[in-house]
């Protein structure tokens, strides 16, 4: 292979060298608006060649950036991947020979390896975050980090508020406030009781014929919800610790369940931390819908929405159009702070 590569390179070099020797006369190149450029023919040809290479490289940059992120992943194959498999003779096992290109994936920073990432799942139609307001409480910061990660990888995200059976009147008021924060941003919110089966039919209708991810803290009732959606799944559930008010890990690896009414549901291990992976501070602002719609009105094109004069985002925050908790989440992610849920 290396001999063929060097042969092709040598052939291209000598072809250009011969072309240069035989085409040294000047030519006049006309541009738009009457502009013209006189230069040797070989210079014109090489200029066009270099320009073509530059355009090609620029076109490859998004894919290169995506591959750069994937290169840091601890798991090259994830649940939801499409692969080609070559079966071993007289065996029920095989070897993965090709990983097909992903349309999207959701990723998080590895808990113990800050510079490494873990691909949670790939090729998703939607992602659901199961949250609870108590036993255990899901912080707004955790919700925002999940939504930002979904935005970064073009995955439609929805929020499921579970344990409706535990809500007092005060809890229902807080739930209404939470739902208002996110529904006005375009994130659909649903309220269920997985234990009592309340509104489970709504979630089933959303899952039909789609590949869906379901994620959340340990203890938010994710496994109970899956058992309510899929009685035959028999996913292990666990109790909440009285001491820490946190759940126990009952799912230790991501698993895909086929849905009897069409589609697939990917169950993930409970997440206690969700670090935003490999996003520059400049990228993070664009992943907040309420920032994105106002950024073009900022005085400076590179505004970071911290303390710059003429910042449209800060003006909207002061006027009450941006929720303070969302702005706090932005600052936390911008400064690279890790949020424990």
Q: pLDDT tens digits, residue range 129-144?
A: 999 988 788 899 999 9
Identify the band that residue 292 occupies on the pLDDT scale cut at 50, 70 and 90. Answer: very high
46-75 pLDDT, tens per residue? 777 777 777 776 766 565 555 455 545 566
Can you name the CATH fold of 83-267? Answer: Rossmann fold (3.40.50)
Can you name the CATH fold of 281-334? Answer: Ribonucleotide Reductase Protein R1; domain 1 (1.10.40)
List Cα–Cα distances, 248 to 118, 126, 274, 293, 310, in angstroms.
20, 25, 17, 40, 47
- The reported pLDDT for the residue numbered 4 is 72
Q: Give percent of the chain above pLDDT 70.
A: 76
Q: pTM value?
A: 0.72
CA torsion, ordered 41, 47, 52, 54, to nearest 10 deg: 170
CA torsion, ordered 127, 132, 137, 141, to nearest 10 deg: 30
What does the buried/exposed string (b/e) look like for 21-37 if buried means 16 or more CB atoms within 10 Å of the residue's CB? Answer: eeeeeeeeeeeeeeeee
239-262 pLDDT, tens per residue? 444 433 444 444 446 789 999 889
190-210 pLDDT, tens per residue? 999 998 999 999 999 999 999
- The reported pLDDT for the residue numbered 153 is 87
E-state strands within 117-230: 117-122, 126-131, 157-161, 189-191, 210-216
- The reported pLDDT for the residue numbered 262 is 92
Identify the band that residue 230 occupies on the pLDDT scale cut at 50, 70 and 90. Answer: confident
Q: Give percent of the chain above pLDDT 90.
A: 39
**More confident site: 6 or 24:** 6
Burial class of residue 185, CB neighbours in 10 A (0-12, 13-18, 19+): middle
Is 95's pLDDT higher than 80? yes
């Amino acid at each position: 292979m290396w001999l063929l590569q060097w042969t092709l390179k040598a052939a291209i070099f000598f072809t250009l060298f011969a072309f240069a020797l035989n085409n040294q006369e000047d030519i006049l190149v006309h541009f738009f608006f009457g502009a013209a450029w006189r230069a040797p023919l070989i210079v014109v040809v090489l200029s066009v060649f270099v320009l073509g290479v530059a355009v090609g490289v620029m076109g490859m940059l998004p894919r290169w950036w995506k591959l750069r992120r994937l290169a840091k992943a601890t798991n090259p194959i994830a649940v939801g991947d499409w692969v080609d498999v070559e079966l071993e003779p007289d065996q029920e096992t095989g070897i993965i020979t090709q990983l097909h290109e992903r349309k999207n994936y959701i990723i998080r920073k590895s808990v113990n390896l800050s510079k490494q990432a873990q691909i949670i799942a790939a090729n998703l139609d939607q992602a659901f975050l199961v949250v609870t307001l108590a036993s255990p409480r899901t912080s707004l910061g955790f919700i925002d980090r999940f939504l930002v990660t979904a935005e970064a990888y073009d995955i439609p995200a929805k929020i499921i508020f579970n344990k409706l059976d535990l809500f007092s009147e005060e809890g229902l008021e807080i739930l209404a406030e939470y739902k208002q924060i996110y529904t006005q941003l375009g994130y659909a919110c649903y309220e269920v009781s997985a234990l009592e089966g309340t509104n489970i039919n709504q979630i089933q209708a959303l899952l039909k014929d789609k590949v869906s991810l379901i994620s959340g803290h340990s203890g938010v009732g994710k496994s109970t919800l899956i058992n309510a959606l899929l009685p035959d799944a028999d996913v292990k559930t666990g109790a909440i610790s009285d001491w820490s008010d946190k759940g126990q890990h009952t799912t230790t690896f991501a698993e895909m369940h086929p849905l009897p009414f069409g589609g697939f549901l990917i169950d993930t291990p409970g997440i206690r931390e969700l670090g935003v992976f490999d996003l520059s501070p400049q990228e993070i602002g664009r992943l907040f819908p309420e920032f994105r719609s106002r950024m073009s009105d900022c005085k400076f094109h590179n505004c970071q929405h911290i303390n710059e004069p003429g910042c449209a985002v800060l003006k909207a925050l002061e006027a009450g159009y941006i929720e303070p908790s969302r702005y706090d989440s932005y600052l936390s992610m911008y400064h690279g702070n890790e949020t424990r849920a």
